[in-house]
Structure 1
Amino acid sequence: MSEYRMNDAAIELPAHFTDKTFHIFSVDRAGVGVFTFVVSRAPMEAGDTIDTFVKRLVSEMRKALPHFELKLQRTREVDGETAREIDYRWISDGAPLHQRQTVVMSPLAGDKPLAISFIGTCPKAFSPEWTEEYAKLVDSATLRRKDGPAFVSRPLDESTVGVVFVLHELNGTLYSLSGMTELFRHNIAEMFRDVSFYGATGAPLVMHPAPDAQKGWHAPDGREFLLWTADPRQHRSLSDRLSSVKVARGITGLSAVDDIRAYLSSVAETLPPSRGEST
């Protein structure tokens, strides 16, 4: 037996048991389930590829699900890993169900490969709203990988050079500022409410208290704050967030999403950033 750990408990699991964990999330409106999102895990067979696994999965669903109809199968990515998305319909208890399933192989796979599936379900059919919601959920997924060197966050003081980007999440406005000095001129109270920060390369930044004796952004309660580099394995880059931007303001030449996308691409080509750091 081996100890199997869950979020809130642990059990002694016999060796012949297989982990098929499910995480289920649902949206209800007026007592009716309109969208369900499930994350499941299933063991793959030795030598399986994502294609052979999905082919077998579809074959099994054809046999098990009444009136199963495969509508679409396509290639996509999940956190940089090649995945397959299948779109299908079937009848459950006399009612039609529409499902989308994106399947990716876990990067942790060793001798026992594991498939991770992201499954969205709607009664009857996916609306444009739930089509977009499902795509956003899958795009936001990050896969656990083998532990690498520990990420060490560092504070960026007022002398740090390079553009700073500030994204207001609620209204989708992205501001580009000439540097930390300009950023520090703004009221810090505005920066605690649904705001994300990015450095000159688009790498994520987070706001934390400044180290002892280091001058930072002065808050009304007397504390000092600075922006710190953030682990890109846990925070999305600005390039990955551009679809959320509705309005771009600030520096001349960075007043449109396409301008910012081109700028980030040019920076990536000419000056590859260290992980999570502003340049």
Structure 2
Amino acid sequence: MLSDENSLPISQQSPADRYHTNELSFALPSGLKDKTHHVFTITESGPSPFTLVISHSPIEIDDTLEEISKRLVLELGRSLQQFRTIQEPVAVEVAGQHGCRLEYSWMQQGVRMQQKQVCLLHEIPGKRQLIQIAGTSSVQGDQGLDWALRFEQIVATVHLRQPEE
């Protein structure tokens, strides 16, 4: 039985203590951090001309979107080849929540990649997390604009689930 001094053994946790995914739920031992990624692509295998990634990760109680977006831009600049911002972080509202949007590009194996990203703070009792929605495309020209529009359409339909949903 896994447990720690601040929690019940997994076998004694109530249904409300269960971690839920789209397909299942399970007892998540304390100490494990959820850094889930949902990845959506066009192709079954190999590189996809457009990828949508939705991720979330826990954040500190005093983290602000401004600080998080600045750190993100710095980290991307250090890790991506020929990184450049297309749009500096700007405030947006998504699903009734304060968020920020940024757009940037970089080179990956000789191909110019472009990404639009929206970051949201999602707070529910006892849990504060950063949700990142990123649309990445290697497509240039009109087809690239088509995927940029699809990303905007997806973001416009975002609805944040509450714990009881």
- Into which bin does the TM-score normalised by the smaller protein fall? 0.7 to 0.9
Identity, in percent, stands at 28
Report the CA distance between 1:124 and its aligned residue. 4.9
Considering fraction of residues, name the structure with more strand. 2
User: Contact conserved, 2:41 with 2:52, CA < 8 A, in 1?
Assistant: yes
1:125, 1:14 → 2: CA distance? 45
- Work out which of the two has the higher radius of gyration on C-alpha atoms and give 1 or 2: 1
1:125, 1:48 → 2: CA distance? 35
1:15, 1:46 → 2: CA distance? 18
- What's the TM-score once normalised by structure 2's chain length? 0.76
Which residue in 2 is equivalent to 1:142?
159
1:21, 1:65 → 2: CA distance? 22
Report the CA distance between 1:134 and its aligned residue. 0.6
Report the CA distance between 1:137 and its aligned residue. 0.2
Letter in 2 for 1:18: K
User: Contact conserved, 1:107 with 1:143, CA < 8 A, in 2?
Assistant: no
* Pairwise CA RMSD: 2.5
**Which residues in structure 2 correspond to 1:162-201 (within 5 Å)?**
none
The aligned length equals 146
Report the CA distance between 1:96 and its aligned residue. 1.9
| Structure 1 unmatched runs, 5+ | 148-233, 235-279
Report the CA distance between 1:102 and its aligned residue. 0.3
Match of 1:100 among 103, 112, 116: 116
SS of match in other structure, 2:49: strand
SS of match in other structure, 1:83: strand
- What's the TM-score once normalised by structure 1's chain length? 0.47
Letter in 2 for 1:22: H
SS of match in other structure, 2:39: strand
1:30-53 deviation line (CA, Å, top 9, x unaligned): x86221111110221220111111
- For residues 102 and 17 of structure 1, do their structure 2 counterparts lie closer, same or farther at Cα, with a shift above 3 Å needed? same
- For residues 124 and 132 of structure 1, do their structure 2 counterparts lie closer, same or farther at Cα, with a shift above 3 Å needed? closer
2:78, 2:102 → 1: CA distance? 16
With CA pairs under 8 Å and 6+ residues apart, which has the higher RCO, 1 or 2? Answer: 2
1:125, 1:47 → 2: CA distance? 39
- For residues 14 and 119 of structure 1, do their structure 2 counterparts lie closer, same or farther at Cα, with a shift above 3 Å needed? same
1:134, 1:145 → 2: CA distance? 23
Report the CA distance between 1:95 and its aligned residue. 2.2
User: Contact conserved, 1:40 with 1:116, CA < 8 A, in 2?
Assistant: yes
User: Contact conserved, 2:50 with 2:139, CA < 8 A, in 1?
Assistant: no
Report the CA distance between 1:4 and its aligned residue. 3.1
Letter in 1 for 2:157: S
Letter in 1 for 2:110: G
1:47, 1:32 → 2: CA distance? 38
1:178-207 deviation line (CA, Å, top 9, x unaligned): xxxxxxxxxxxxxxxxxxxxxxxxxxxxxx
Match of 1:79 among 80, 95, 107: 95
- For residues 81 and 5 of structure 1, do their structure 2 counterparts lie closer, same or farther at Cα, with a shift above 3 Å needed? closer
SS of match in other structure, 1:106: strand
1:87, 1:113 → 2: CA distance? 24
| Structure 2 unmatched runs, 5+ | 4-9, 11-17
